[in-house]
């Protein structure tokens, strides 16, 4: 990494006070501060396609900032005006859908397809719809496998068969009825597949094949930690998995989802291809960065071509594997630039998960600087995630332009109504907060 250190940036943000708020540069419109990255790259928002332009109109309606930042990349704005509302609660257009706010539920596996058929259950209805009722602007369904052997565990959700579509519909409708945008993360687990979970046993290890496990595949035959060694994929098999992503995306749209997120993070198949430490291939899918990102770009192209222009396309990345000689921020920025050209609307910025035994300096906001850098240097909207737990902390990230939205993961597992609490903490009127009408009498 060049230009900043995670530790330096995060230490200043771990607080929940009321200090002056900096500006929100709008990556989509170029409004707000002139960033160092924009100046040095000579890049602009021009080139965004028509669908992205739709998003601009809503995104640019975000409240103006109070004051220019005294530090960081956004110090040059002279046009900042007083904020009228917390940035966190400003809507944002995602092609055909509009998220009512920038508090999103990230994908989180629940391993609760108990029949091992990939189909969601009443648990999933309760889980996702309650978070939508709690005010989240976007609710992303957990990693959902595009093939049976692309599951992380036998109890993962799946969309590898038309027969699975129906089980999603009522849940997606429930999420939308409660006012949230419905997103789904599509995944192939690669060498991290066929592992156990609370429902199957074998947690933290491979499920034996005679107990419901399966042989795993990867770019190269390198095992993850104590997991069973994967088999190297042939080029034909790679093409087949690209097609499986496309078909699963079509099924997801058929089930009613507004947003498709491709999982290219955390050491699952697509991120295994990206990382030179897990991809040692010598064909057109290995070696140079262009080759290592080839499968991801093919997936993006296949999905983008198969779904309507109104469907937004996200990609989740690990911005670093936290290991020397591996995947890092600069490669992520290069990849994000390419993904944007290929029709990706937003990059969901996480880190890690690719290599075993790596020390991750996790603390509040520790992944936010990655989001900020990708947003500025690839000029693509981003989300930030990771130990964002406090309303003012979350609001500050959006207000500063470090991300277009924040995701609240574990904190939302213990508090499905986190956005309603945040609305109160940030001083929104009840009428402006995302209450269900039935619950207004219980407002803070
Ligand atoms: C129970 C659990 C399941 C998760 N499953 C997924 C997943 O399916 N896909 C994914 O990309 N990340 C997954 N994650 C990571 C989260 O999306 C998020 O990035 C992480 O929890 C950090 O955010 P937090 O500190 O707000 O929890 C999972 C995290 C948890 C706690």
How far apart are alpha carbons 321 and 327 in whole angstroms? 5
Where would I find the beta strands (DSSP E) of 146-221?
157-158, 181-187, 195-197, 201-206, 217-218
Q: Which of the residues in the chain have pLDDT under 50?
A: 1-83
Contact 153, 168 (CB under 8 A): no
Helix pair angle (294-306, 235-255), 10° resolution: 40
Do the domain assignments include residue 215? yes
How far apart are alpha carbons 105 and 140 in whole angstroms? 6
pLDDT in the model for residue 334: 98
Contact 112, 78 (CB under 8 A): no
Do the domain assignments include residue 49? no
Nearest Cα residue to atom 5 of ligand 1: 108
pLDDT digits (tens, 9 = 90+) for 48-75: 222 222 222 223 222 233 333 323 322 2
Give me the catalytic one of 111, 168, 268, 366: 268
Do the domain assignments include residue 37? no
Pairing of β 97-99 and β 92-94: antiparallel
pLDDT in the model for residue 10: 31
Sign of CA dihedral 383, 384, 389, 393: negative
pTM of the model: 0.85
Tell me how far apart the 2 most distant CA atoms of the chain are, in Å. 66
pLDDT digits (tens, 9 = 90+) for 195-249: 999 999 999 999 999 999 999 999 999 999 999 999 999 999 999 999 999 999 9
How far from chain centre, in Å, is Cα 63?
Answer: 24
Contact 407, 131 (CB under 8 A): no
Tell me the three state secondary structure of residue 57: helix
For residue 225 the two structure tokens come to 């930690």
Do the domain assignments include residue 208? yes
pLDDT in the model for residue 86: 67
pLDDT in the model for residue 394: 98
pLDDT in the model for residue 85: 54
How far from chain centre, in Å, is Cα 258?
Answer: 14
* Cα 142 to ligand 1 centroid, rounded to whole Å: 9
- Residue from 389, 409, 410, 416 to probe ligand 1 pocket by mutation (most atoms less than 8 Å from CB): 409
DSSP state of 71: S
* Cα 167 to ligand 1 centroid, rounded to whole Å: 23
* Cα 106 to ligand 1 centroid, rounded to whole Å: 6
Q: Does the beta carbon of 143 lie inside 6 Å of ligand 1?
A: yes
Do the domain assignments include residue 66? no
How far apart are alpha carbons 351 and 265 in whole angstroms? 7
- Residue from 13, 106, 385 to probe ligand 1 pocket by mutation (most atoms less than 8 Å from CB): 106
In the chain, how many domains are there? Answer: 1
pLDDT in the model for residue 23: 40
pLDDT in the model for residue 239: 98
pLDDT in the model for residue 28: 38
Nearest Cα residue to atom 10 of ligand 1: 107
* Cα 382 to ligand 1 centroid, rounded to whole Å: 16
Q: Is 268 a catalytic residue?
A: yes
| Domain encompassing residue 373 | 92-439
Half-sphere exposure of residue 130: CA atoms within 13 angstroms, side-chain side: 13
Contact 184, 260 (CB under 8 A): yes
Task: Supply the CATH number for residue 330's domain.
Answer: 3.20.20.70
Do the domain assignments include residue 51? no
Q: Does the beta carbon of 409 lie inside 6 Å of ligand 1?
A: yes
Q: Does the beta carbon of 107 lie inside 6 Å of ligand 1?
A: yes
Contact 102, 88 (CB under 8 A): yes
Do the domain assignments include residue 50? no
**Where do runs of H (alpha helix) occur along 32-191?**
36-41, 50-59, 122-133, 165-177
Do the domain assignments include residue 86? no
Helix H or strand E segment including 376: helix 368-377
Angstrom CA distances, 209 to 107, 215, 359, stand at: 27, 7, 31
């Amino acid at each position: 990494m060049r230009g900043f250190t995670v530790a330096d940036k995060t230490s200043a943000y771990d607080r929940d006070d009321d200090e002056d708020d900096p500006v929100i540069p709008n990556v989509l419109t170029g409004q707000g501060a002139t960033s160092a990255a924009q100046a040095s790259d000579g890049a602009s928002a021009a080139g965004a396609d028509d669908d992205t332009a739709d998003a601009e109109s809503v995104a640019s309606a975000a409240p103006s900032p109070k004051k220019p930042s005294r530090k960081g990349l956004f110090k040059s704005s002279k046009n900042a005006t007083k904020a009228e509302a917390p940035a966190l609660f400003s809507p944002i257009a995602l092609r055909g859908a509009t998220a009512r706010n920038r508090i999103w539920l990230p994908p989180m596996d629940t391993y609760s397809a108990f029949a091992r058929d990939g189909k969601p259950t009443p648990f999933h209805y309760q889980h996702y719809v309650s978070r939508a009722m709690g005010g989240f602007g976007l609710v992303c369904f957990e990693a959902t496998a595009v093939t049976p052997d692309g599951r992380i565990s036998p109890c993962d959700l799946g969309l590898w068969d038309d027969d699975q579509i129906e089980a999603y519909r009522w849940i997606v409708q429930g999420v939308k009825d409660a006012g949230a945008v419905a997103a789904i993360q599509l995944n192939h687990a690669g060498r991290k597949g066929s592992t156990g979970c609370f429902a199957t046993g074998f947690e933290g290890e491979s499920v034996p094949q005679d107990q419901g496990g399966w042989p795993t595949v990867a770019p190269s035959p390198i095992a993850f930690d104590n997991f069973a060694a994967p088999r190297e994929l042939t080029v034909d098999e790679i093409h087949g998995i690209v097609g499986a992503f496309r078909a699963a995306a079509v099924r997801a749209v058929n089930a009613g989802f507004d947003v498709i997120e491709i999982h290219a993070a955390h050491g699952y198949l697509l991120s295994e291809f990206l990382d030179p430490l897990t991809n040692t291939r010598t064909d057109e899918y290995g070696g140079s960065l262009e080759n290592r990102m080839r499968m991801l770009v093919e997936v993006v192209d296949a999905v983008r071509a198969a779904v309507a222009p109104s469907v937004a396309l996200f990609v989740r990345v690990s911005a670093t594997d936290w290991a020397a000689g591996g995947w890092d921020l600069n490669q992520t920025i290069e990849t994000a630039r390419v993904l944007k050209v290929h029709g990706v609307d937003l990059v969901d910025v996480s880190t890690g998960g690719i290599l075993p035994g790596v020390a991750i300096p996790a603390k509040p906001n520790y992944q936010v600087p990655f989001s900020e850098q990708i947003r500025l240097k690839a000029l693509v909207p981003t989300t930030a995630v990771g130990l964002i737990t406090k309303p003012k902390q979350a609001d500050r990230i959006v207000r500063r332009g470090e991300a277009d939205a924040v995701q609240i993961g574990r904190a939302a597992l213990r508090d499905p109504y986190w956005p309603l609490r945040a609305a109160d903490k940030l001083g929104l009127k009840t009428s402006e907060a995302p209450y269900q009408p039935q619950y207004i009498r219980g407002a803070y």
